[in-house]
A and B are shown apart, each in its own frame.
Chain A
């Protein structure tokens, strides 16, 4: 408001100078002409000039007001953030013509009972041209406002503690220079959601991929499916045979992770195949564990394998045993087992960390045949250099199908290959579209790429 008053001062000055020019101009009239009027002239001219001054000043002030007066954020909406685990609120508001680099928005939060904006706490402040819906991550089907609208998600963090089921007062203020205008106070209550519709694309892709896998399994049951040779898996029989001939045990490790990791699940499945062979050859099997639940699952798998091999009496409950969940003490203990029991074959399947080289180096020093399989890319180099055979990444997941040759597993593997072919096609088409977009400078390839980004 101070600015507007100051604007009126030059306005007055300009009007005064204009009045002086008008008075000077009036003196050019002939002297004897309309002398009566001349006698009245100074009075009504002064009155007219004052009137003009008021009108001009008023109009210019109105123009300045229209240009500078801050308008509170319009179409303000506050609601529970959809598709989340709760403890979060979302605020949307429409863009304003005043969204300039020198303007800023503030998001205010307070208790449900707040009736005055002064009692709310400023939890975020940002430039007015930022926090647009189009800049936020998330697919188009869950957007809650137009692309050019503003959106701010309030989450628990520094100075903010939202509780599910508790109502809060939320508003947005706009700032420009010294001025500040606050929007209407809104109430919103955070709550968790059962479904995350942002991930519905994952569901669609999973169902699509599942369909492909079921189709491949049906195909595998009708006709034989070719599987390329995987040297590391061909060596499994060789390793078990060698251990049998030497009368030494086989050491099998399932990695560092628990049963939440796909590589541990794969390692447990392969253990079933290996255990079936060791049962058939009556070879001792040692499976030291780092995770008690993995140990329990592996005990069941081993027991089942011995049962399927027709040698349930040979199954030993303590062939799977727990050492410790600590990384290096487990490593020290397994190294000790390798040196004292001198297994003829060591299997390192699953996920590994820094212990990988310590284990395989010790195993190599005992002269055991070593087969590793992991998707831990940082440990693969160590396995490649110290083991006789290494299953790289997905070969670990293919191992079960390769060893069993069961139609269900072979079909799954075939389905995975079809999935990979689809990925290769998408990459090829995507690169082509992106290059076309650059060459033709057309917008339409980008629409396809944006669509893909959202669907992925």
Chain B
């Protein structure tokens, strides 16, 4: 049998089994779930062995004599000491190294891109100099650099920043500013929600397009047959659970 046809049957079956979760938890979903987890773990192990053990450790050390790599290897091996109770404390050095390096790398990057860059983009003149017209206040909402947009961004950034003050009570004028911050956050979340939902819809359309394609006789109509199998199984399971006495626990 053609490999493409086998692939079509497997893909259709697993898609429908996963979709069966929309009804309720069932053995078909469990089958797909366990298969999915098992395959991904197997793939990860092989990929890690190939990219880390072979290409990052074995080849550079054995073939290129890069002996300095033994230091990270030793730190990595310290993690395995967790399985030896008397030497388990050694693994903490490895964790401390990882967390320390992680924080050391992340903090400057975060400060630079999320704080300082944000400040730079917020600092804009409230008025614009138009050649011929002189200094004016621009009301054009479609222009990100217009005066009105600069003021909106300035109010938004300042109020949201104030909302994240934890050691100041949000009362009186502070409460109004914090409320304004929450309002800006919710507008941003709404926009992000709509944007992401549209992206998810395109993913769903992709799966449905595959199911439609695999209903073709050239593949042996796997969508049709496996949909019948899935629905039949769910009906059978539902009837069986109804006939069984309720759990006494």
Contact = CB atoms under 8 A, between A and B. Distances in A.
Given A230-B166, A333-B33, A393-B164, A427 B95 contact: no
B62 interface: no
Interface string A404-433: 000000000110110011011011101100
Nearest to A415: B167
Contact of B40 (A259, A329, A395): A329
A330 B101 CA distance: 27
B125 A437 contact: yes
Contacts of B53: none
Nearest to A264: B102
A326 B164 contact: no
A62 interface: no
A195 to B, nearest CB: 14
A424 B161 contact: yes
Contacts of A228: 165-170
A285 interface: no
Nearest to A414: B167
Interface in B203-244: none
Interface stretch (B5-13, B66-74, B182-190): B182-190
Q: Bin chain B's interface residue count.
A: 35 or more
Contacts of B33: 329, 332-333, 335-336
A381 interface: yes
A260 B167 CA distance: 28
Contacts of A261: 102, 106
Contact of A420 (B30, B108, B125, B161): B161
Contact of B125 (A199, A336, A427, A435): A435
A427 B123 contact: yes
Interface string A199-243: 100100110000000000000000001111010000000000000
B28 interface: no
A417 B116 contact: no
Interface in B98-152: 98-99, 101-103, 105-108, 110-112, 115-116, 119-120, 122-129, 135, 150
Given A228-B169, A333-B37, A441-B129, A377 B188 contact: yes
Contacts of A417: 165-168
Contacts of A428: 158
B30 A336 contact: yes
B19 to A, nearest CB: 12
B61 interface: no
A299 B32 CA distance: 29
A136 interface: no
Contacts of A326: 36-37, 40-41, 43-44
Interface in A64-80: none
Given A414-B167, A438-B135, A296 B82 contact: yes
A456 B120 contact: yes
Contacts of B119: 423, 426-427, 430, 456
A306 to B, nearest CB: 15
A384 B101 CA distance: 32
Best-buried of B18, B30, B99 by chain A (most CB within 10 Å): B99
A380 B196 CA distance: 11
B200 interface: yes
Contact of A431 (B123, B128, B195): B123
Nearest to A438: B125
A259 to B, nearest CB: 5
B59 interface: no
A185 interface: no
B40 A262 contact: no
A413 B167 contact: yes
Contacts of B195: 378
B79 interface: yes
B21 interface: yes
Contact of B193 (A385, A426, A449): A385
Nearest to B41: A324
Nearest to A325: B44
B124 A380 contact: no
Nearest to A220: B167
A435 B98 CA distance: 46
A453 interface: yes
Given A323-B37, A438-B125, A354 B106 contact: no
B196 A381 contact: yes
Contacts of B129: 438, 441
Contact of B164 (A300, A323, A395): A395
A259 B36 CA distance: 25
A430 B123 contact: yes
Given A228-B166, A332-B32, A431-B124, A262 B106 contact: yes
Contact of A259 (B44, B91, B102): B102
Interface in B51-67: none
A226 B135 CA distance: 45
Interface of A: 199, 202, 205-206, 225-228, 230, 258-262, 265, 293, 296-297, 299-300, 323-326, 328-330, 332-333, 335-336, 339-340, 354, 357, 377-378, 380-382, 384-385, 392-395, 398, 401-402, 413-414, 416-417, 420-421, 423-424, 426-428, 430-431, 434-435, 437-439, 441, 449, 452-453, 456
6 contacts: A296-B91, A329-B41, A332-B36, A336-B33, A427-B158, A434-B123
Given A435-B127, A449-B123, 16 more contacts: A226-B169, A227-B167, A260-B105, A260-B106, A261-B106, A265-B103, A324-B37, A325-B44, A326-B41, A326-B44, A378-B195, A378-B196, A380-B192, A381-B193, A395-B164, A438-B128
Closest 7 CB pairs of A and B: A430-B123, A326-B40, A260-B102, A381-B193, A381-B189, A434-B125, A456-B116
